[in-house]
Chain A
Amino acid sequence: MSLQMIFIKMGEGFGKTCAIFFLTLLFSLPLGMIISFMRMSKNTVVSKITQFVVSVLRGTPLMLQLLAVTYGPYYLFNISVSRNKLIPVVIAFSVNYAAYFSEIYRGGIESISVGQYEAAAILGYSKVQTFIRIILPQVIRRILPSVTNEIVTLVKDTSIAFTVSYQEMFTIGKQIANSQTSFTPFLVAGVFYYVFNAIVGLVMGKIEKSMSYYKQ
């Protein structure tokens, strides 16, 4: 198979790689915020349970979680494995990344001084107004570098979807590599990921720069 052909075949899978990437971000970023609020809840039962769940999600391989989400329903409830693997992939990825994001959010929120909350309280801001207008913008600014790190990892982690044979770029590359006994598809995959992450780095750098108009 020519190099050009390999690029074309894998390029077709790249759309699915992007689907995993963008859908995971779409769901995990807000879900992470909900989890971090539950983790910081004054209700210790909620907070402790959340802490435990997050530690499991962070302390076990994403691959294992993906297998559990994809095949667990079959073994547990005899529900047939869904044909469209994108659904379990996005669920597993979103929940896993939300766990990581929740800890980043929590660190950011807890790093804001009480003085900011007190100044807002004296001026009469409601709790929601305080969070949205005063706290959140400062938190985003602070956590952006850590979030960028996670996003870069996510780009590479999309390849884990090969464990459930979801036909994304890496899965296709692996199939070509097997059938042609060639290493070239893996090199091509490396190029795809590298370029993808270069773009991620560029975009995140722009966003970080646009927020660095004040010293923190």
Chain B
Amino acid sequence: MNVLEMTNIKKSFGDNNVLKGISFHVDSGEVVSIIGTSGGGKSTLLRCATLLETVDDGIISYMGENVTYKDGNGKLCYAKDLNRFKKVFGLVFQSFNLFPHFSVLKNVMDAPVTVLNRNKAEVKEECLELLEKMGLSDKVDAYPCELSGGQQQRVSIVRALAMKPDILFFDEPTSALDPELTGEVLKVIKQLAEEKMTMVIVTHEMAFARAVSDRVVFIDKGMIAEQGTPEEVFGNTRNERTKQFLQNYGK
């Protein structure tokens, strides 16, 4: 089943047409990497999917339920109760955006307890387990300012996982990290991929995208220029723009 389906998504800022009709779906358990030129609209696409931005046109649906729909007059509308969709997805930011005044454990536990009204003891147990899995057991009581970038990003991944999302989005999760710290974060994402977590990852780490993805989507100037298996896109693309892009990246 498609966890996410986006059909003919359009979005502009002023007269800057950023998304020019993107159709995109993610199957349950699938890992999709999004690559592409800077300013091509990758972040905007994730922000539209996670309701941080509203689309100008196009249908978004999660688990077959419409987030946007056309009314009788063909006008685009958003569903009334958007909160139920927020339980479906999580987003990991490039700049972590941890809550600096909360300890690691509280960062991770607070939303399940206050937003989902779940039992505190139960949430705590789950969160401690997740933190341990991510190699953060000894940082449970630390504050974000006491952690390295790589540790902070792993905490923010746990924070997203603690909400038990059906799909997890990543927007360049390692771009703000020193090169020697990207490995530990990529390892964690790889681990999630092996557990069949449904994920959409915007990344500039080509080797990683190639290794971890079921499908690679290349976005160029607000359009999907090409998509396919990592082999098809990285191995022997026939698309000129993809070729050029990958050449610039030195692969």
Contacts and interface: CB of A to CB of B under 8 A. Distances in A.
Interface of A: 113, 115-116, 118-119, 121-125, 129, 133-134, 137-138, 141, 213-216
A216 B90 CA distance: 25
Interface in B126-171: 143-145, 156, 159-160, 163
A143 to B, nearest CB: 14
B187 interface: no
7 contacts: A119-B98, A121-B52, A122-B50, A122-B160, A124-B83, A124-B111, A215-B143
B100 interface: yes
Contacts of A123: 86, 90, 111, 115, 159, 163
A214 B143 contact: yes
Contacts of A115: 93, 95, 97
B114 interface: yes
B145 A125 contact: no
A214 B141 CA distance: 12
B86 A122 contact: yes
Nearest to A136: B101
Contacts, number: 60
A134 B106 CA distance: 12
Contacts of A124: 83, 86-87, 111, 115-116, 163
A176 to B, nearest CB: 50
B31 interface: no
B111 A125 contact: yes
Nearest to A132: B114
Contacts of A122: 50, 52, 86, 89-91, 160
B87 A216 contact: no
Given A122-B90, A213-B143, A137 B101 contact: yes
Contact of A214 (B93, B95, B115, B144): B144
A119 B87 contact: no
A116 B99 contact: yes
Contacts of A214: 100-101, 143-145
A118 B52 CA distance: 7
Given A121-B52, A123-B111, A124-B87, A138 B145 contact: no
B110 interface: yes
Contacts of A119: 93, 97-99, 156
Contacts of B95: 115
Given A124-B87, A125-B114, A214-B143, A118 B163 contact: no
A182 B184 CA distance: 76
Nearest to B101: A137
Contacts of B160: 122
B101 A129 contact: no
Contacts of A138: 100-101
B118 to A, nearest CB: 12
A116 B97 contact: yes
A213 B145 CA distance: 10
Contacts of A215: 100, 143, 145
Interface string B107-119: 0001100111000
Contacts of B51: 121
B86 A141 contact: no
A118 B111 contact: no
Contacts of B98: 119
A118 B115 contact: no
A134 B99 CA distance: 7
Nearest to B94: A115
B177 to A, nearest CB: 16
Given A141-B101, A213-B143, A214-B145, A118 B93 contact: yes
Interface string B21-60: 0000000000000000000000000000011100000000
A116 B96 CA distance: 10
Given A124-B116, A213-B143, 11 more contacts: A115-B93, A118-B93, A118-B97, A119-B99, A119-B156, A122-B89, A122-B160, A123-B90, A124-B83, A125-B115, A215-B143
